[in-house]
Amino acid sequence: MKCYLINLDRSPERLVNMAERFGRINVPFERVSGIDGKKVGIQPAVFYNADGTVKRRLAIGEVACFQSHRSCWRRIAEGEDAFGAVFEDDIIFSDKAGPFLTGEDWIPAGTDAVKIETMFQETLIGREAITLPERFKLAHLYHQHYGTAAYILSRAFAAYLVETYPEPPAPIDHVIFGPETGLLYQRKILQMTPSIAIQERMLEPPSVDEGGSLLEFDRMDAGASAARRGLRRFLRNIAKPFENLARRIEGRPRGYRGKVPPFAKLAVVPFGRMYRRPRR
């Protein structure tokens, strides 16, 4: 299984850092030059809801990030391996990650994607899980768990993504691990728990100068520009405590509507050997 690392040409220090991190777990990787939205002409795109209505326009950074990932999908689709892994250049690895990234025997047949990072988001995973070495497990992912800084795709699924999405219908993580495209519910997408990778900012939020991925900061800027303001935000803040209380009583993650099926459970995926979210 090949590992593809997305890295912008204007971020050489990130490549040095990631080469050291891959080296520590004895995993080779191939650099993929990221598409830089600040230097390349990017066509505008629209973020669609699951029902086909327009949610908002995608920022240039989001479109460039999607196309960078799509370059990796194409490499996986055209390669000989059954699976390939995609990484952004601000990932931290568990010290147990190496064997999972150099072989693919641990991935069940018929799997389309494996999310191997965590964003410490509430989600739903299957109650029945496959036990892996070193106390890791694989469980079906039944609810959105955003982030695409570390994931694995099958060759067939990568080919499907390349053919189906020449342009982004949503931010990259919403396409695979969100509800908008429906892939999360139609395909066999698994979550590794604990995760073997995590973005730096999830442990200690960095600035760009401190080494955060420039891809990630472009996305963060885009999200900030679309944040709710004014009366809608005020009303949402009033309702939030009551919504959270109802969710906890029912065992529902954020954004989930309806009753949680008996084969799924609420979870916050930990990282590596850490079973609690680090304090900020």
What is the per-residue pLDDT for 279? Answer: 47
For the chain, state the CA radius of gyration: 18
**Segment holding 114, helix H or strand E:** strand 113-115
* Number of structural domains the chain divides into: 1
Range of the domain at 189: 2-268
Residue 134: inside a domain = yes
**92 band by pLDDT with thresholds 50, 70 and 90:** very high
From the list 172, 192, 191, the residue with the least C-alpha distance to 88 is 172
Residue 280: inside a domain = no
Residue 48: inside a domain = yes
The CATH number of the domain holding residue 162 is: 3.90.550
Residue 278: inside a domain = no
Phi, psi of 204 (to 5 degrees): -155, 105
Residue 23: inside a domain = yes
Quick check: 210 pLDDT over 70? no
- DSSP bridge partners of 46: 57
What dihedral do alpha carbons 226, 230, 234, 239 form, nearest 10°? Answer: -50
Residue 120: inside a domain = yes
What is the per-residue pLDDT for 179? Answer: 86
State the chain's mean pLDDT as an integer: 84
Query: Which of 80-89, 212-221, 262-271 shows the lowest per-residue confidence on average (mean pLDDT)?
Result: 212-221
From the list 61, 34, 29, the residue with the least C-alpha distance to 45 is 61
The string of pLDDT tens digits covering residues 261-276 is 889 999 999 998 544 4
- Helix then strand count (H, E) for the chain reads 9, 13
What is the per-residue pLDDT for 216? Answer: 54
Residue 273: inside a domain = no
Residue with the larger pLDDT of the pair 173 and 244: 173
Quick check: 229 pLDDT over 60? no
From the list 77, 124, 129, the residue with the least C-alpha distance to 258 is 124
Residue 275: inside a domain = no
The string of pLDDT tens digits covering residues 138-165 is 999 999 999 999 999 999 999 999 999 9
